[in-house]
Amino acid sequence: MPANSAQARSVPVSAVKGQSPGAAPLLSIGQVLARLTPEFTDLTPSKLRFLEEQGLVSPARTESGYRKFCTSDVDRLRLILSMQRDHYLPLKVIRSYLEDLDAGMSPVLPGGTTPGPSMLGTVRRLTREELLREAGASAALLHDAVSASIILPADYYGDGVLNVLRALVELQRSGIEPRHLRGFRGAAERELGLIESALVPLARRKDASSRAKAAEMAVEIAGQLEVIRGSLIRSALGRLTK
């Protein structure tokens, strides 16, 4: 692997293999993937390298050029991936957000979400029991949401799923059950078809850089579709309440 990244930290082999007893071990790309892919199933080595190329994460390097990630790097990656998946944010917005965090500020995410002093340490992995407790949901509601394909079953859940389950709790109080929302899955699959069509030119290329760019472009298109969907719903609600 190349060792000439302008932002990479150069770490001697001795520093990697012989750290002080109290120091957390540095991780290889494979070890980082093992930690993150259960939550972010589309994560690949090429995507990790792409995020580094974009200056969003700066792993250390051994003298032979191998990337080594510390715990804060993994937390930062989890935050970046969560912002892409749960908020559909493009990398330029994420980069600006991280720069503000690094400067000691408390930036507001697009949509009005204000993090704590350091959001890097607050990206969570919730067990099923923790998810139900924090959402105030019953096991039956979660089961129905999984059956309706609104929530995918997993060993751990992020804040995005927590927000969905909380919304389902509120909708249930109005008589709207997960089974009533099955059409949402169909609509999402149709949007996915639009995104896949837009990505055909990049998808035909087999190099890692093109695959990474396609993943970023998919997130940006999904975000734009989200804007249009929200606008149409607000417009319909305006007619409904007149």
On whether both 100 and 14 belong to a single domain, the answer is yes
Positions of E strands within the chain: 9-10, 60-61, 67-68
Tell me the angle at which helices 139-147 and 128-135 cross, rounded to the nearest 10 degrees.
110
Residue 78 lies in a domain: yes
On whether both 20 and 112 belong to a single domain, the answer is yes
The tens digit of pLDDT for each residue in 13-43 reads 444 444 444 556 788 888 898 888 878 877 8
Residue 131: per-residue pLDDT = 92
> Which residue from 122, 56, 49 is spatially nearest to 84, judged by alpha carbons?
56
Residue 169 lies in a domain: yes
Q: Find the domain containing 135 and state its range.
A: 124-183
On whether both 146 and 106 belong to a single domain, the answer is no
On whether both 86 and 165 belong to a single domain, the answer is no
The tens digit of pLDDT for each residue in 215-242 reads 777 777 877 787 787 788 778 877 776 6
Higher pLDDT, 17 or 92: 92
Residue 28 lies in a domain: yes
Q: 117 falls in which pLDDT band (50, 70, 90)?
A: very low
**Tokens of residue 208, six digits:** 């890692």
Higher pLDDT, 121 or 31: 31
Mean pLDDT check: name the lowest of 11-15, 23-27, 79-83, 210-214: 11-15
On whether both 103 and 25 belong to a single domain, the answer is yes
Residue 33: per-residue pLDDT = 87
Number of domains in the chain: 2
Q: Which of the listed residues 162, 183, 204 is the one where a domain comes to its end? A: 183
> Which residue from 204, 36, 123 is spatially nearest to 45, judged by alpha carbons?
36
SS (H, E, C) 50-108: HHHHCCCCCCEECCCCCEEECHHHHHHHHHHHHHHHHHCCCHHHHHHHHHHHHCCCCCC
Q: Which of the listed residues 138, 161, 183 is the one where a domain comes to its end? A: 183
> For the chain, first and last CA: distance in Å?
62
